[in-house]
Amino acid sequence: MKESFFRTNKNSDVCIMSVQMFADVILPLPLHDKFTYLVAPGFEPNMKVGIRVVVQFGARKFFSALVFRLHNQPPEGDFELKEIEAVLDQEPIVNHAQIIAWEWVANYYCCSLGEVYKAALPSALKLESQSNICVNPNFETTGELNGEETALLMMLQGKGQANIREINQFLGKKSSYATLKILLEKNAILMEEKLKESYKPKTVSMIRLAKEVSSPDEIQLALESLKKARKQSELLTYFLSATIFHQEPKTSLLKKELLEQAGVSEAVLKALIDKKILENESVEIGRLEMNHSADQYLYELNEVQEKTLLELKQAFRSNRPVLLHGVTSSGKTEIYIKLIEEVLAEGKQVLYLVPEIGLTSQLITRLKRAFGDRAGIYHSKFNDAERVEIWFNILHDKKDSYQVVVGARSAVFLPFKMLGLIIVDEEHENSYKQFDPAPRYNARDLAIVLGQIHKSPVLLGTATPSFESYYNVKLDKYALVELNERFQGIEMPEIVVADIRKATRQRQMKSLLTPSLFEEMKLALENNEQVILFQNRRGFAPYVQCKTCGWIPKCKNCDVSLTYHKFRSGLVCHYCGHTSSLPANCGECHSEDIQTKGFGTEQIEEELGLLFPEASIARMDLDTTRAKRSFEQMIYKFENRQIDILVGTQMVTKGLDFDHVRVVGILNADQLLNYPDFRSFERSFQLMAQVSGRAGRKGKRGKVVIQSSQADHEVLQEVVDNNFIQLFNRQMHERKLFRYPPYFRLIKLVVKHKNRDRLDLGANQLADLLRKHFRNQVLGPEYPVVGRIQNWYQKEIWLKLEKSKVLNQNKRMLMDAIDQVKSLPNNGGLVIYADVDPM
C-alpha cells in the first residue's frame, strides 16, 4: 500500500505537461467509490497529496475534498469529468503516514475513506456546503481585509448567519471556499459547529493582587487601610497566606475556592476589588493550561522497575508491539515517564493513549510535572480553534508545543511527523473501540498499525490484559514483559468473597452490606482510612415494579425498563435520556404498590449515610460528574481525605491512585458475571482486579471484599488468586469451541428501520444473501438485548469468520451485499452498517 502510494506521487512529479493530470480525492461522505477530478493545467504546479481542494459533487453541492492520489490514468467509463474548482492549501494538511493509516481503517473496518476523513479532521478544516457561517464576535477589524472580504463580513453581520450557497450567491461565485478559508484563518468568521459547541473558551475567575498593590510596602498600606473593615481585612489576610506567603507561593487563587475557604461573601470580595486591592482575572483553562514548569518531581525508578525498563527497551528491538503485564500499582506510569523522557531527548513525538480523557486528571498532573508544556491533552471536546492549532503544531512538529500528546482514541488521527513511541495505557479497556458513528475503529489496534507506519515502538500496558493481546503474545506476534511486584514491595490486597445469600438467610445483611464488608469498612473508618465501593449501576434502582401484577414501566422510545433516579424523583431511560415521573399507580392493574428493584449508586450512597452517619460520603458516576471539573474536584477532595467513602460506577476502577484507600468493596459481582456476552468473564475479571488494585497502594496492605450470591464462582476464585493465566486458559478453550475471538473474527451487521416489518424483511434479505457466500458462518438476524432504541427497531446479523488471508475479499463481498440490499425496492428507510471486531 505504502509503495504504490509513493510511486504514484513520483510519477506525477515527472509528468510532462502534455499529459493530463487527475486527482483522486476523498469527499467527506459515506460513499465507497473513489472520486476522480481533472486538474486544470493552471493548478498542476500547486497540486500535492494531502492538500484540500474544492470540488463540485452532485448538482449544486461543493465540498472541500482532500487529494489523496495524483496520476495520469483517465478513469474508465463514459462520463464527463469535472474539474477541480479551487485549491485551498499550499502545503499538505495531512501527511503520507495518515493517508496510509486512513486506508487501513477504511479497509479493515468496512467504511469509506470519507468517513475516516470526517472523523480525523477537526471540523474547521472541513468546509461543507451545509455549514453555516457567521461573524466571530471577538474579531477586531484591522486593515487586513480586502473589499470582497469586508463586504461579506458586513453581509453576515446584517443577516446573522448564512450558509455556503447563500454566500456563493452573494459573492456571485460558483464557490467561495477560498475566501471563506482566508476569513477563517483570520479568525473573522465562525462555522456553525463551533456555535453549537457554544464557542466560549472555558474560563475561570482567578483573584490576584491588583497592580497597585505589588510591593511589601503597598501590601502593608492596604492592610492598614482595612482596619475598620474586619471582613475585608480577614479576606485579604487569608488571600495573602494562601498565595504569596504560602510555603508553595502562588500569585492567584480560584475565586470560588477563595470565597469558600475564607468563608466570606462575594460582596466582601467585591469591596476589595473596588478598592483596587485585589483584582479579578478571567483565565482560560483546558488545553491552554500552559506554563507548568517541568522536572520538579521526577522519581528514580527502583530496581525492579529499572529492570523492567531495560526489558522493555530490549523488547522494542524485536520490532513487535510489546505488552507490559504489570500488576496494579507497580509503577507502570513511572516507567512510561522514563521511556518518554528518552524519546523526547531524541527529538521525537509521543502518543499516549488513555481510555477516557475525562478520567485522567491524576495522570495529566504527573505528566505535566515531568514534562511541563511539552505534554498536553488532545480532546475531541476542545473547541475547533484549539484543535486546529494542535493539529498544525503536531503536523509541523513545533518543538515549543506538545511533544507528548495524551488523548483518548481520536488522538490516533493527529498528523504525527516523528513518532518515537506509542503508549496504550489500560489496553484492555473497551472504550478504545468507537461505537458510533463510523469508522468503528479500535484505537489500540490502530495504534499498532501506526507503529508499523512510523516504525515506532508500541507499548500496551495493563494489569489485566485483553485476551486478544495475550493471545498475540502466545502467537509471538507481541513481545511480553512482566512486572509482578507492587511499588515498595507492598503485597497485593487480600481479597475475600462474601456470600450474600448466606448473609441474607442468616439475616445478617446490613442494608446492602454483608457483615464482612461492613466490619472492614468500620475498621478502616475508625483508623481514619478510606473506602471505595464499586457498583456498576447508576441511579437509585435499575427498575421499579408493581408488586401486585409484576408490571414494569418501560421507555416509550426504547425497549428497556426505566431506571429510577431518586434525586430527580423520576424514571430515566439510560438509552435515550427520556424521563417521566414515578407513577403513583400501576399502569396495568392500578395498584398503588410500586416497589423499587435492585440498587444503584444513588441508593447505596443514601443507605451508607444511615450506616455510617459520621463519614463523609461521595458518589462518582455519570450523574455526579456531568458538571465541568466535578470529577477533578472529587478526586482532589478524596486525595485530601475530605471524603471517607467513595461510591461509584466503572469510573472508580480506572487508574485512580490514592494513598490511603484501605478497603475496596464490590457490592454485586453477580451483575458482572451474569451479563449476557461471551466476554463477560473476561470483563468481570478485569473490572474486579482493577478496582481491587485501588486498595493499599501505599504503606499497608489493602483489603477487598467481593459480595456475590455465587460465592464459589470460579472467576471469583481467579480474582482472589489474581490468577489471570488460569482464567485465560479456561476461557480460551471455550472461545475456540464456540468460535469466538480471538480465534475467530466477528463482524456484527446492524440493520435498523423505524418500521418493524420492513426491518424484518430487510434483515432477512441481507442474511439470505450473506448465507450464499458465508454459509454457516452467518448467525441471525436476531433482536439484540435492546431491540428498539429511540424508535429505531434493530436486528443484528453476526459473522464468525475464520481468520484467513482472504479477509479483504470477504469484506468486499460483505459491503457489496449491504449495498445490494439497500438498493432493493422498498428498502429506502433501511440503515445497515458493519461493526468489525465489535466489543
Ligand X SMILES: Nc1ncnc2c1ncn2[C@@H]1O[C@H](COP(=O)(O)OP(=O)(O)OP(=O)(O)O)[C@@H](O)[C@H]1O
Detail the residues annotated as belonging to a binding site: 546, 549, 555, 558, 573, 576, 586, 589
Smallest separation, CB 38 to ligand X (Å): 55
Cell of 663: 478497603
The item of ligand X, Zn ion, none sharing an interface with residue 441, based on CB under 5 to 8 Å by kind, is: none
Contact stretch for Zn ion (CB under 5 A) within 105-113, 211-219, 550-558, 801-809 = 550-558
The item of ligand X, Zn ion, none sharing an interface with residue 555, based on CB under 5 to 8 Å by kind, is: Zn ion
Q: Which is nearer to Zn ion, 560 or 688 (CB)?
A: 560
How many CB atoms within 10 Å of residue 246? 11
The item of Zn ion, ligand X, none sharing an interface with residue 326, based on CB under 5 to 8 Å by kind, is: ligand X
Check residue 600 for interaction with ligand X (CB under 6 A): no
Among 339, 555, 672, 688, which residue interacts with Zn ion (rule: CB under 5 A)? 555
Among 115, 149, 334, 445, which residue interacts with ligand X (rule: CB under 6 A)? 334
Check residue 655 for interaction with ligand X (CB under 6 A): yes
Smallest separation, CB 698 to ligand X (Å): 7
Smallest separation, CB 467 to Zn ion (Å): 32
Q: Is 595 exposed, middle or buried (0-12, 13-18, 19+ CB in 10 A)?
A: exposed
**Rounded Cα distance, 541 and 607, in Å:** 13
**Rounded Cα distance, 102 and 108, in Å:** 10
Contact stretch for ligand X (CB under 6 A) within 129-137, 140-148, 294-302, 596-604 = 294-302
How many CB atoms within 10 Å of residue 837? 18
Under DSSP, the state recorded for 645 is E
Check residue 830 for interaction with Zn ion (CB under 5 A): no
Is 666 in a helix, a strand, or coil? strand
Q: Which is nearer to ligand X, 329 or 650 (CB)?
A: 329
Number of residues interacting with Zn ion: please give it, by CB under 5 A. Answer: 7
What is the signed CA dihedral for 20, 21, 24, 25, rounded to 10 degrees? Answer: -120
In which residue are the cell numbers 528491538 written? 317
Check residue 575 for interaction with Zn ion (CB under 5 A): yes
Among 390, 558, 647, 664, which residue interacts with Zn ion (rule: CB under 5 A)? 558
Q: Which is nearer to Zn ion, 579 or 642 (CB)?
A: 579
Check residue 302 for interaction with ligand X (CB under 6 A): yes
> Please, which residues have CB within 8 angstroms of residue 758's CB and are 6 or more apart in sequence?
826, 827, 829, 830
Inter-residue contact 59 to 10 (CB < 8 Å)? no
- E-assigned strands of 210-320? 252-254, 278-284
**Rounded Cα distance, 597 and 492, in Å:** 35
Among 657, 670, 714, 760, which residue interacts with ligand X (rule: CB under 6 A)? 657
Residues 693-712 that bind ligand X (CB under 6 A): 693, 697
The item of Zn ion, ligand X, none sharing an interface with residue 558, based on CB under 5 to 8 Å by kind, is: Zn ion
The item of Zn ion, ligand X, none sharing an interface with residue 181, based on CB under 5 to 8 Å by kind, is: none
Check residue 330 for interaction with ligand X (CB under 6 A): yes
How many CB atoms within 10 Å of residue 134? 17
The item of ligand X, Zn ion, none sharing an interface with residue 333, based on CB under 5 to 8 Å by kind, is: ligand X
Smallest separation, CB 783 to Zn ion (Å): 16
What is the signed CA dihedral for 275, 276, 278, 283, rounded to 10 degrees? Answer: 130
Smallest separation, CB 650 to ligand X (Å): 14
Check residue 301 for interaction with ligand X (CB under 6 A): yes
Check residue 742 for interaction with ligand X (CB under 6 A): no
Among 332, 454, 538, 683, which residue interacts with ligand X (rule: CB under 6 A)? 332
| Cis check: omega of the bond before 515, within 30 degrees of 0 | no
**CB crowding 795-832: b at 16 or more within 10 Å, else e:** bbbbbbbeeeeebeebbebbeebbeebbeeeebeebeb
Contact stretch for ligand X (CB under 6 A) within 140-148, 243-251, 287-295, 325-333 = 325-333
Smallest separation, CB 334 to ligand X (Å): 4
The item of ligand X, Zn ion, none sharing an interface with residue 114, based on CB under 5 to 8 Å by kind, is: none
* Closest C-alpha to 450, from 462, 441, 461: 441
- E-assigned strands of 285-434? 322-326, 349-353, 375-378, 404-407, 419-425
Cα end-to-end distance, the chain, whole Å: 28
> Which residues are 495's β-sheet partners?
704
The item of Zn ion, ligand X, none sharing an interface with residue 259, based on CB under 5 to 8 Å by kind, is: none
Q: Which is nearer to Zn ion, 95 or 557 (CB)?
A: 557
The item of ligand X, Zn ion, none sharing an interface with residue 655, based on CB under 5 to 8 Å by kind, is: ligand X
Number of residues interacting with ligand X: please give it, by CB under 6 A. Answer: 19
Check residue 24 for interaction with ligand X (CB under 6 A): no
Check residue 422 for interaction with Zn ion (CB under 5 A): no
Inter-residue contact 415 to 395 (CB < 8 Å)? yes
> Please, which residues have CB within 8 angstroms of residue 807's CB and are 6 or more apart in sequence?
745, 801
Among 331, 493, 598, 838, which residue interacts with ligand X (rule: CB under 6 A)? 331
The item of ligand X, Zn ion, none sharing an interface with residue 557, based on CB under 5 to 8 Å by kind, is: Zn ion
Q: Which is nearer to ligand X, 299 or 798 (CB)?
A: 299
Q: Is 293 exposed, middle or buried (0-12, 13-18, 19+ CB in 10 A)?
A: exposed
Q: Which is nearer to Zn ion, 582 or 761 (CB)?
A: 582
Check residue 573 for interaction with Zn ion (CB under 5 A): yes
Inter-residue contact 514 to 711 (CB < 8 Å)? no
Inter-residue contact 117 to 106 (CB < 8 Å)? no
Among 264, 463, 479, 525, which residue interacts with ligand X (rule: CB under 6 A)? 463
Check residue 682 for interaction with ligand X (CB under 6 A): no
Per-residue contact flags (x/-) with ligand X for residues 487 to 526, judged by CB under 6 A: x---------------------------------------
Check residue 328 for interaction with ligand X (CB under 6 A): yes
The item of ligand X, Zn ion, none sharing an interface with residue 8, based on CB under 5 to 8 Å by kind, is: none
Among 95, 205, 557, 723, which residue interacts with Zn ion (rule: CB under 5 A)? 557
The item of ligand X, Zn ion, none sharing an interface with residue 122, based on CB under 5 to 8 Å by kind, is: none
Among 326, 493, 542, 598, which residue interacts with ligand X (rule: CB under 6 A)? 326
Is 804 in a helix, a strand, or coil? coil
Q: Which is nearer to ligand X, 479 or 661 (CB)?
A: 661
How many CB atoms within 10 Å of residue 247? 4
Check residue 333 for interaction with ligand X (CB under 6 A): yes
> Please, which residues have CB within 8 angstroms of residue 352's CB and are 6 or more apart in sequence?
336, 340, 367, 375, 404, 405, 406, 407, 423, 425
Binding residues for Zn(2+), by number, are: 546, 549, 555, 558, 573, 576, 586, 589
Among 490, 576, 711, 815, which residue interacts with Zn ion (rule: CB under 5 A)? 576
| Cis check: omega of the bond before 781, within 30 degrees of 0 | yes
**Rounded Cα distance, 574 and 571, in Å:** 10
The item of Zn ion, ligand X, none sharing an interface with residue 331, based on CB under 5 to 8 Å by kind, is: ligand X
Is 484 in a helix, a strand, or coil? coil
The item of ligand X, Zn ion, none sharing an interface with residue 38, based on CB under 5 to 8 Å by kind, is: none
* Closest C-alpha to 356, from 98, 115, 656, 601: 656
Q: Which is nearer to ligand X, 194 or 369 (CB)?
A: 369
Inter-residue contact 634 to 620 (CB < 8 Å)? yes
Cell of 165: 450557497
Interface with Zn ion by CB under 5 A: which residues?
555, 557-558, 573, 575-576, 578
Interface with ligand X by CB under 6 A: which residues?
299-302, 305, 326, 328-334, 463, 487, 655, 657, 693, 697
